[in-house]
Amino acid sequence: MQYEHGAGAAGIAHELKNPIAVIQGNLDLTRELLGADAGKVHAELKLADEQMLGLWISRSIVERCGGDIRAANRHDGRRGAVFSVLLPGKPANAAPDPEA
């Protein structure tokens, strides 16, 4: 779990919202362009839809908690992406606030 504070965290949500919308739009366009042939890749399209739903649900939960979620490509030579969840508050192992 990653914690981040400040104005920078407020604008992060678009990093996940926009790609989800673009990918879903591309899936819909793919189905339209394939027409009757879309059935040949039904399993792949269904899996992509399920992954998009999972991302949408995750984003919705995090945002309802007042947080943000971001996705980025890995930069360590491995395949895949890294998802960071940013929630308000302090991490459990944070030092107590001396002003509290």
Tell me if 68 is assigned to some domain: yes
- The predicted-structure confidence for 56-87, as pLDDT tens digits, reads as follows 788 888 888 888 887 777 788 888 777 788 88
Would you say residue 4 has pLDDT above 80? no
Domain range for 17:
7-86
With b for 16 or more beta-carbon neighbours within 10 A and e for fewer, the 57-96 pattern comes to eebeebeeeebbbbeeeeeeeeeeeeebbbbeeeeeeeee
pTM of the model: 0.47
Tell me if 2 is assigned to some domain: no
- The predicted-structure confidence for 37-63, as pLDDT tens digits, reads as follows 999 998 988 888 887 777 778 888 888
How many domains does the chain contain in total?
1
Residue 37's pLDDT is what?
A: 93
